[in-house]
């Protein structure tokens, strides 16, 4: 056994057991964080949601309430389920609300420095046995784990968007992630009604390693004048049976997130095929990042989205 392996083993032996997950913390009240809170609350977990903005927290709660109401209307849950789920959610603007949480899931913007700062600060506010997960869609789990005081209790838990609808969760071990941690998080994924898929800790994991280069190529197709926004999306919906065209999907994901993932792939794999399209860069620089900003490859200011190119 190498010295490094011996050190990791010794550190692991000094950790308390992984707790049974009853309470879940979520950092970030954006679209992904809100969706994770939604499914956790309906699954019976007590949930704590933190964000730096009270306004964003109020917006998140309103969105969760509205989305649960839709589920009641479609018969997927009952009115009692909705009421009980909403009652399990508590919010706050600091990390002190996570003091009793068994697992905390970080859902901040897809920026490594931001995530590292959050994770480092979080460790002092949670119990020694608390598991920490990140919802990153592309960043190294091993690197993020290294800024915490518990690499063995750290894991990637990549939910798909929209969380209440999509069935998959990618589970990604860092180099130090313990098997006990993986098993507990996998069990949680199943309790949420999701299907877990294990991915290795390489840039963008499985889904985005395949999906984002396709979206980037669609932007190149637009950039080079091969087709218009409408033509490209129509071609892929009718010619490849995709439920949503790649440019429409990019707007839904957020062009800033798409660009961030492409940079991770390009920097991490050093392959020119992952070079972000200059047009994607230009849209992000303009603040045209998709649905959340009201404009991307489509303009969403009217009743019907209109292509911007």
CA atoms of 119 and 125, how far apart (whole Å): 10
CB 85 within 8 A of CB 69: no
The catalytic residues are 137, 158, 170, 208
CB 269 within 8 A of CB 203: yes
Residue among 124, 108, 125, 104 nearest 116 (CA)? 108
Residue with tokens 């941690």: 181
- Pairing mode, if any, of strands 195-199 and 298-299? unpaired
**CB-hemisphere CA count at 13 Å for 40?**
28
CA atoms of 59 and 165, how far apart (whole Å): 20
- By CB atoms closer than 10 A (0-12, 13-18, 19+), residue 25 is buried
Q: What are phi and psi of 298, to 5 degrees?
A: -125, 155
- Pairing mode, if any, of strands 168-173 and 154-159? antiparallel
CA atoms of 115 and 107, how far apart (whole Å): 9
What does 12-36 look like in DSSP terms, one character per residue? HHTSPPPPP--EEEEE--SHHHHHH
CB 156 within 8 A of CB 171: yes
Residue with tokens 């994924």: 189
């Amino acid at each position: 056994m190498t010295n490094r392996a011996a050190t990791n083993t010794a550190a692991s032996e000094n950790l308390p057991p992984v707790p049974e997950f009853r309470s879940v913390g979520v950092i970030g009240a954006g679209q992904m964080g809100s969706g994770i809170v939604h499914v956790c609350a309906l699954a019976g977990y007590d949930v704590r949601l933190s964000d730096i903005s009270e306004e964003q927290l109020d917006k998140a709660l309103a969105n969760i309430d509205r989305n649960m109401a839709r589920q009641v209307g479609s018969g997927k849950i009952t009115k009692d389920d909705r009421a009980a789920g909403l009652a399990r959610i508590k919010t706050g603007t600091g990390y002190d609300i996570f003091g009793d949480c068994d697992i905390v899931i970080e859902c901040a913007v897809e920026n490594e420095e931001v995530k590292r700062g959050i994770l480092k600060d979080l460790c002092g506010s949670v119990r020694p046995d608390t598991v920490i997960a990140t919802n990153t869609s592309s960043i190294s789990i091993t690197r993020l784990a290294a800024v915490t005081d518990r690499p063995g209790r750290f894991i990637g838990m990549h939910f798909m968007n929209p969380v209440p609808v999509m069935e998959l969760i990618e589970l990604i071990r860092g180099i130090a992630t313990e098997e006990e941690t993986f098993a507990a998080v996998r069990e949680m994924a199943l309790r949420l009604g999701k299907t877990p898929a294990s991915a290795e800790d390489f840039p963008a994991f499985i889904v985005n390693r395949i999906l984002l280069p396709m979206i980037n190529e669609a932007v190149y197709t637009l950039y080079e004048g091969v087709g218009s926004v409408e033509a490209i999306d129509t071609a892929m919906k009718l010619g490849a049976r995709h439920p949503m065209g790649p440019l429409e999907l990019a707007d839904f994901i957020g062009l800033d997130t798409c660009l961030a993932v492409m940079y991770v792939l390009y920097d991490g794999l050093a392959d020119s095929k992952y070079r972000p399209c200059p047009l994607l860069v230009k849209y992000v620089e303009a603040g045209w990042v998709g649905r959340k900003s009201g404009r991307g490859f489509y303009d969403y200011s009217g009743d019907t989205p209109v292509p911007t190119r």
